[in-house]
Amino acid sequence: MPKGTIIRLMNGGFGFIKSEEKDFLFHHSDIKGVEFDSLSEGQEVEFEKGQGRDGRPRAVKVRLSQSKSE
């Protein structure tokens, strides 16, 4: 599962994730386990690669990365 960092959150309920490969758009409906309003720029996330209605790459099933503290 790809990982990335939230680099931008927009008022319209969408944002952007920077991954090693490229930047991905995500929509608030693609977030799992947390509310859009509780996200902040700089948070690490995991996601699946999907495709928007316009055919462009999009992040789906976005969730916060699990910390590996032991």
Please give the average pLDDT of every successive group of 10 residues along the chain, which has 70 residues. Answer: 96 96 95 95 97 92 77
- Specify the number of domains making up the chain: 1
Question: Is residue 60 one of the residues assigned to a domain?
Answer: yes
Give the pLDDT score at 70: 39
SS3 48: strand
Residue 22 covered by a domain: yes
- The reply to whether 69 falls in a domain is no
Q: Which domain holds residue 45?
A: 3-64
What's the pLDDT score for residue 33? 94
Residue 70 lies in a domain: no
Closest CA to 47 of 36, 32, 62, 65: 62
DSSP class of residue 31?
A: B
Query: Is residue 44 in a domain?
Result: yes
CATH number at residue 39: 2.40.50.140
Per-residue confidence (pLDDT) for residue 68, from 0 to 100: 55
Amino acid 66: pLDDT: 83
pTM score? 0.88
> What pLDDT score was predicted for residue 25?
96
